Amino acid sequence: MKIVALKESHEPRVALVPDAVKKLCQLEGIEVAVESQLSPMITDQAYEEAGAEVVESRQDLLASADINVSVNAPLIEDIKQMKKGSLCISFLDPYNDTERIKTLQASGVNAISMEMLPRTTLAQKMDAISSQASLAGYVAVVLGANKLDRIFPMMMTPSGTIPPAKVFVIGAGVAGLQAIATAKRLGARVEAFDTRPVVEEQVTSLGAKFVKVDLGETGQNKDGYANALTDEQLKIQQQAMAKSCVNADLVITTAKLFGRKAPVIVTDDILKDMRDGAVIIDLAAGCGGNVEGTVVDETVNVHGVNIVGIDNLPGEVAYDASSMYASNLYHLISHFYDQETHTMSLDQSDEIMNGCLVVRDAQVVNERLKEIYGG
């Protein structure tokens, strides 16, 4: 079984690193090939020493691969050149990128969407959403500290005492918790809010103050994601958030709704009341933004507040992000690899495969997606 990784388009991360290549090649019957100059961070020689074949021709790789792995969804022209019956594994955004899913169907290419993996104990090592979100939370704080006009820790000097910076984190999922932990390590005073009261203990265990807002019934879905709020609940949340945002030097928003536009939490009215020089890092910029006025991949100044809308925060630490993603892929492939038949099982009687398999035999087989694509 041949696993192939191609160069990404406008993406600093890569799907395979030498350590993951070495582990894959230790599985009987697996060979790995990568496109030449796959990554500016890693030499072709390093891939070859790990056991991969380095190939110049992209077309040859596409035609010969049994499994195509990538970070982002493959280019449509690449899908059309993939071998019929082969398997594509990447982030696919299947709720929104319908053209690509239909191209996979038309080309007879099977597909696994990494963001569709169920959040179960067994699937933790494969959970690329969580691994990348954790890095995004870290980067958000470091980026915010760099753009802020004051220091994070309290500092006692002969000139007087400098108070610690105030950081407010909205959303205490994986990214939010990592942001809280990083901000605390840098010495900031941290507050956090989440619509799920169940995460209060996690927030306080990291040394942050949990901002309580009575929104009525909210909760989370079976995968641990926060449920969408009603319009009334969203208004209550915005009013409650206003005070914490106004008092903060740095606000980090992490509220995303899987497959849907992100809710606007920080409104223009809130921005008007925030201090000049305050910074907001909007982790939901790529899916609509949590902040009114966010522009994807740009930093804009609105009412004196700097709003940073970098979509690919894990890409800012591409080496570690690639290593973590490659590890997720290795655990996924090795879990379903049959060493007797030298094939990867796509049996949907398995809970994990049933959750992440999107296309099989030219049909959309994922129950959550059939309303969009039929099947």
Within 10 angstroms of residue 53's Cβ, the number of other Cβ atoms is 13
Q: Which two tokens stand for residue 178?
A: 């990592």
Distance between CA atoms of residues 240 and 43, nearest Å: 51
Residue tagged active-site, from 70, 86, 113, 130: 130
Residue 72 exposure: Cα atoms within 13 Å on the Cβ side: 14
- Annotated catalytic residue 225: yes
Rounded to the nearest 10 degrees, the angle between the axes of helix 318-336 and helix 18-25 is: 10
Task: Give the DSSP H or E segment for 338.
Answer: strand 337-338
Residue tagged active-site, from 39, 70, 105, 127: 127
- Annotated catalytic residue 13: no
Distance between CA atoms of residues 327 and 321, nearest Å: 10
Per the rule left: phi > 0, alpha: psi between -120 and 50, beta: everything else, 303 is left
Residue tagged active-site, from 58, 119, 185, 368: 119
Residue tagged active-site, from 81, 97, 225, 350: 225
What would the DSSP string read from start to end of 48-61?
HHHTPEEES-HHHH
Per the rule left: phi > 0, alpha: psi between -120 and 50, beta: everything else, 262 is beta
Chain-centroid distance of CA 268 in Å reads 27
- Annotated catalytic residue 119: yes
Measured at the CA of 294, the angle between CA 288 and CA 297, to 5 degrees, comes to 90
Residue tagged active-site, from 36, 59, 124, 345: 124
Measured at the CA of 4, the angle between CA 46 and CA 30, to 5 degrees, comes to 85
Distance between CA atoms of residues 75 and 92, nearest Å: 11
- Annotated catalytic residue 339: no
- Annotated catalytic residue 97: no
3-state helix, strand, coil split of the chain in percent (to 5) is 40, 20, 40
| Residues belonging to the active site | 119, 124, 127, 130, 225
